[in-house]
Amino acid sequence: MKLLNKAVKHGAGLGTAPLGNMYRDVSEEEAFGTIQSAWNMGIRYFDTAPHYGAGLAEIRLGKALADKPRDDFFLSTKVGRYMKDSTEEKEGLFKYGRQNEVVTDYSGESTRISIEQSLERLQTDRLDVVFVHDVSPDFHGDAWTEKFEQARSGAFHVLEEMKKKGTIKGWGLGVNTISPIKLALEMGELIPDIFLTATQYTLLQHEHALQEIMPLAEEKQVEMVVGSPYNSGALLGGSYFDYEAADANVLNHVRQLKQIADEYNVSLKAAGLQFSSAHPAVSAVIPGSTKAEHVEEDLRLLQEEIPKDFWKELISKGFISEKAPLPV
């Protein structure tokens, strides 16, 4: 039985990276309103991480869910980073988050520290799934394989032990590239139960994931969660792609997709959500938001009917792979 079967009724969960003040200062009112809207709409899967605003997203999620029965929702967070009381000047995606110094470490001891801190911030006594976060080339460059080995001998064993004891239901990797997922799936021991692949199985880019990790996931009966289905907003006309400024090629790609979508009166947001969730290995899509109305819109668009001819044209023009499973 899949881990997320009972938790995901709409094919969607809520990603909370934006609630950690990603890109901008998000008010408490906005953050709590977004989480409450998700709850009211029936979402019961919430994903977060210490990295999101140096614990800010976890704190906000914990407060918002504090009065909800713990058995009624599914919660995933991540390890690989823990917080210190000392502060540091922030820059990048979460420069508006908390100022706590962040330590990146995939060892067993640091994994335990990270989990203890997350439980406190989330105001809960247990986690359902834990992802090893960002053990990937986009964060560690050529040293990512060394970090992977540190996680393999440290975090992986701690999480597997927790699963065997029943402390967590499962564990895996949460990354923005496919190489670590492929490596983990090819391990002879300690095969993860679930992966969070952000930005890699989307309407804008999916060829490598489709060829290299989705068949392995199906073969080994491992679940996939798709994060950032809009590639940091680029699909919706935003200026970021995969957490960096979108270049001219990406912007032109989106314009062409938009022209075709307009011809069929299709929302690219609906197409993106439905494409990412159509693969049988995918258990959930978890777009992030800071607006309550956007959460409601996401759930509605997941159910919106899209003409088959729209998908056929995208295939014929090379925008999506002919091997990609499509919404029924």
The residue from 23, 47, 269, 298 that is catalytic is 47
pLDDT over 80 (residue 32): yes
β pairing state of 240-241 and 223-227: unpaired
Told to judge if 47 belongs to the known catalytic residues of this protein, a careful annotator would answer yes
Residue 1, pLDDT score:
57
User: What average pLDDT does this structure show over 15-24?
Assistant: 95
pLDDT value at position 34?
97
CA dihedral over 59, 45, 228, 301, signed as positive or negative: negative
Query: Does 67 participate in catalysis according to the annotation?
Result: no
Strands 244-245 and 240-241: antiparallel
pLDDT in tens, 94-122: 999 999 999 999 999 999 999 999 999 99
> How would residue 201 be classed by pLDDT, with cut points 50, 70 and 90?
very high
Catalytic residue among 23, 45, 52, 243: 52
**Band (10; pLDDT cuts 50, 70, 90):** confident
Q: How does the average pLDDT of the chain come out, rounded? A: 95
d(CA 23, CA 228): 14
Q: Is there a catalytic annotation at residue 52?
A: yes
Catalytic option among 78, 90, 147, 169:
78
Domains, the chain, ordered by start: 14-316 (3.20.20.100)
Q: Which residues contact 152 (CB under 8 A, 6 or more apart)?
A: 187, 190
pLDDT at residue number 74 = 96
